[in-house]
């Protein structure tokens, strides 16, 4: 064999076998959890007009500044692989005029691939899956906001089978946030020469983003920056207080983090991130927040939203081996057929059984029967049917190893356990 020269791109995964099953099970589990909160699944395209992300995610966010996969131009429009779902879901709501529905809030969930041109490392991929929701309304109220937060927690806990910690912050109304940005600008301006190149750019585009910087020296400077809590107006403060006391009342464990601003430009109000309580150094499992100008920015009416997304690969990485084994448990076929006769009879039987909803798996075994039974065990088949050359058949229940002759007309009854 010549050496393989075409390999999987860096920062992507091949899903097959157990990992493919675990991914599929997580998808079902997470979407079902969303349905408990009234969210219906949507599936927007994987690529959108580049303008959608550049306008909505915000020119100053890292995602847009350097992390999007922009497709080579064909025709007269520029397209970009989605780096997140929020913008696409908002575009979908706008384009299909769903905002005029009398039934608000709109509650949508999603599960799918997103793409970011990042430096790959553990837990940081270029192609990964996100599960999340967007709840949209003319004004997102307290109940809707807390429902989104609670769903993000319950979905993560259900997936992992362990407790999570919420870190949260409150960015206030648009006006409060702008006042705070001005205060941050004034604080960082005299210090920015000592800071990284990204922070120099952030000072001009969105000084809030400096608080997100991962460079240690910059974090030390940011430690003494003004706090958002001093820039909230009375209405903001009252809403934040009600949220916190409701969460206290519900016994949800959270930590306030005044430096939490989240990567995208459009957040106002509540923002949060989810961490593994037992393993707090593990990177964020998910995050979310409220936004108020996104729909307007893409040409729609004044409409607010709150949403979160969980990184599915991070869930898989943080999961205990036992939980992963539970999730990826292979449900083998009801019937594994070893066709020694090869005269079409086995095929006919399988066609009939599949018509009755019985999953069948066939292997054309030329080897000894012992090998066939080993394969049946490996694929977790519940029963094995051997069709012998002379036409007679035997069925073996794999759990009990009990092997008996069987007639064709009795097969369905036996397989259905009747």
Q: Name the residues that contact ligand AMP, by CB under 6 A.
A: 84, 116, 118, 123-125, 128, 130, 263, 284-287, 309, 311, 313-314
87/232 with CB nearer ligand AMP: 87
Phi and psi (nearest 5°) for 388? -80, 165
314/396 with CB nearer ligand AMP: 314
147/313 with CB nearer ligand AMP: 313
Residue nearest to ligand AMP (CB): 311
List Cα–Cα distances, 303 to 101, 135, 415, in angstroms. Answer: 12, 11, 55
CB of 67 to ligand AMP, least distance (A): 8
CB of 284 to ligand AMP, least distance (A): 4
CB of 311 to ligand AMP, least distance (A): 2
Phi and psi (nearest 5°) for 283? -60, 165
Contact (CB, 8 A) for 271 and 169: yes
10/249 with CB nearer ligand AMP: 10
Is the Cα dihedral 64, 65, 69, 70 positive or negative? positive
CB of 306 to ligand AMP, least distance (A): 13
CB of 10 to ligand AMP, least distance (A): 12
114/192 with CB nearer ligand AMP: 114
CB of 155 to ligand AMP, least distance (A): 12
109/309 with CB nearer ligand AMP: 309
Q: What is the CA radius of gyration of the chain?
A: 27
CB of 326 to ligand AMP, least distance (A): 21
User: 373-382 long-range CB contacts below 8 Å, 24 or more apart?
Assistant: 373/398, 375/336, 376/336, 379/330, 379/332, 379/333, 379/336, 380/330, 380/331, 380/332, 381/332, 381/333, 381/334, 381/335, 381/336, 382/332, 382/333, 382/334, 382/335
CB of 272 to ligand AMP, least distance (A): 10
39/221 with CB nearer ligand AMP: 39
Question: Of 283, 265, 264, which is closest to residue 273 (Cα–Cα)?
Answer: 283
Q: Which residues pair with 337 in a beta bridge?
A: 362, 385
CB of 315 to ligand AMP, least distance (A): 8
List Cα–Cα distances, 39 to 142, 148, 384, 391, in angstroms. Answer: 17, 10, 42, 54
Is the Cα dihedral 245, 246, 247, 250 positive or negative? positive
69/388 with CB nearer ligand AMP: 69
124/345 with CB nearer ligand AMP: 124
């Amino acid at each position: 064999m010549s050496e393989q020269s075409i390999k999987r791109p860096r920062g992507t995964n091949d899903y097959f076998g157990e990992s493919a099953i675990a991914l599929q099970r997580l998808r079902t589990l997470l979407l079902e959890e969303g349905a408990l909160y009234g969210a219906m699944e949507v599936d927007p395209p994987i690529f959108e007009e580049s303008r959608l992300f550049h306008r909505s995610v915000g020119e100053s966010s890292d995602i847009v500044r350097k992390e999007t996969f922009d497709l080579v131009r064909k025709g007269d429009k520029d397209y970009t692989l989605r780096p997140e779902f929020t913008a696409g879901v908002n575009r979908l709501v706008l384009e299909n005029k769903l905002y005029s529905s009398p039934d608000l809030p709109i509650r949508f969930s999603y599960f799918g691939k997103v793409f970011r041109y990042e430096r790959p490392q553990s837990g940081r991929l270029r192609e990964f899956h996100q599960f999340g929701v967007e709840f949209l309304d003319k004004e997102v109220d307290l109940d809707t906001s807390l429902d989104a937060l609670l769903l993000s927690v319950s979905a993560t806990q259900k997936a992992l089978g362990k407790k999570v910690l919420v870190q949260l912050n409150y960015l206030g109304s648009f006006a409060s946030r702008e006042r705070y940005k001005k205060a941050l600008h004034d604080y960082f301006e005299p210090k920015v020469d000592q800071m990284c190149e990204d922070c120099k750019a952030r000072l001009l585009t969105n000084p809030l983003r400096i608080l997100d910087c991962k460079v240690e020296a910059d974090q030390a400077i940011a430690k003494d920056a003004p706090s958002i809590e001093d820039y909230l107006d009375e209405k903001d403060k009252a809403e934040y207080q009600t949220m916190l006391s409701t969460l206290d009342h519900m016994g949800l464990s959270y930590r306030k983090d005044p430096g939490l601003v989240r990567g995208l430009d459009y957040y106002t109000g509540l923002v949060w991130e989810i961490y593994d309580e037992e393993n707090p150094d593990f990177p964020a499992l998910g995050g979310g927040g409220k936004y108020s100008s996104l729909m307007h920015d893409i040409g729609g009416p004044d409409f607010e939203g709150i949403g979160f997304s969980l990184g599915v690969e991070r869930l898989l990485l943080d999961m205990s081996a036992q939980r992963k084994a539970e999730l990826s448990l292979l449900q083998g076929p009801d019937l594994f057929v070893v066709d020694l006769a090869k005269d079409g009879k086995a095929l006919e039987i399988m066609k009939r059984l599949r018509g009755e909803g019985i999953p069948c798996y066939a292997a054309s075994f030329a080897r000894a029967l012992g090998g066939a039974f080993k394969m049946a065990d490996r694929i977790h088949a519940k029963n094995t049917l051997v069709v012998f050359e002379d036409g007679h058949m035997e069925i073996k229940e794999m759990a009990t190893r009990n092997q008996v002759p069987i007639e064709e007309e009795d097969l369905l009854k036996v397989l259905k356990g009747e």
